[in-house]
Chain A
Amino acid sequence: MINDKDSQKIVDFIQNFARKQSLFVMAYGTGCGAIEIPATMTSRYDAERFGIRGAATPRQADVLLITGYLATKTLKRVIRVYEQMQEPKYVIGFGSCTINGGMYFDSYNTINALEQYIPVDVYINGCMPRPESVISGFVKLQELIQQGKADNGKKYRENLEWYRANQKKIIKNWKMPDYNW
């Protein structure tokens, strides 16, 4: 009765609904993208009406928002933050820099594609994306969550070796705790 397929569907629906309606965002404000976050959260665009609110620490956060380019130094911090977050967790790549490097595509110390290092659920393109596009990205993420397609943490756990190899290629002085899930 409890393990019935339909009752599992109902549980999933409630879980996904709660997850989608309450997104605690850890805004990792690298680069220039951070300037769009206050505009998104404050009175003109008001992301809180979608249940999106800021989280101060990775333990409480659901969404990791990478706003802009990642230098090789900051990539290390991003990985630490990402690994401290608890499942279910989601990542939003924000701006062209996280997709293909953007205007820093040939820089010696920035990474080009974020998804080589951590899995990404939703990309928001633009340089910079306006608050409207940021909110539409969040709505897209909510749709994915409702359909149960956003399984970022699972993807990372299953392909951990591949991601680790990529990360270690960039970060030469790897002095981080090795987690095993």
Chain B
Amino acid sequence: MIFDEPTAALPEQEVEILFSLIESLKAEGIAVIYISHKLNEIRQLADKVTVLRNGKSISHFTKENIDMPAIVRDMIGRSLDKVYPVQRKCTDDVLLKLDNVTLKHRGKDILRNISLDCKRGEVLGIAGLLGAGRTALFSLIYGVFRGTFTGKMFLNGSPYTPTTPSSSINNGVVLVTEDRKKFGLITPANVERNMTAAALGRFCSNGIVDIPQALRECSMYVDKLKIKTPSLTFKIANLSGGNQQKVILSRFLMVNPKLILLDDPTRGVDVGAKQEIYALIHQLAAEGIGIVFVSSELPEVLGVAHRVLVLQGGGIKAEYMHGTTNEEEVLGIAAGVGA
């Protein structure tokens, strides 16, 4: 039986169920091929490991001689010295503030009494399991939510009422969604059209689009984010997941945002590109942009963010500064057990 990235959409609790299912398949004598870029899963499940890169098989390991750094090096073709970039100190200017915000939809409380703030230059991480309300929180701040909300929101100290993506973008707030196939990629279009989708107004004079200027701007982002594409007119559907994600990121960087909401930005992205995205997040924070960062991979949130909030059941249950907690503690709170 062949599994291709089976845990991409599974909540943590169900991943364990899948693993025990795989163990019972093995016990029945069924051969299992398990494809994944999540190294902790490989370590847990594999009897033998083969590393592929660029269509070639690079190296083989067995359960006994698994060498994680070597696997990572073979996956991306170079050594990974540090997983997460060193953090710069962030400012004290509050960029985004939510004050006792409750979001209701169809009689249900989606978000409950949320109070948080994100400072200029800060990477604020939100940890929580699927269903905790992370995407709902983002859809609220970006103006694409369903339902009604009470409470106050502030952007740069002034009251902020998000109504549409367009008004959010005008206020300098952008959202990079978790499901790029559904909400991000304009599939039949090429890289250039995908990149300029939100910032087209910047390239217009007298109502006419200045295409060479747009192309030059796109080239700049291809270089800056190291996007691997044969040309700007290449169809985005043919790029790898990591490069597609970078194109969408470029789209929202092109509008010169002040606050970036990142929802699972490294989902379906390989190890090498993940590193580049972490470095980019800190580069943007160093430029004074506030970043709110949600991820279903706990180590990522804990490693990248200046500060982590734990979201559980629609409410914020804990707050940690970088380096003051670990995965078990956060997972416990996120799952609703423990203080």
Verify that A and B bind, or say they do not. Answer: no
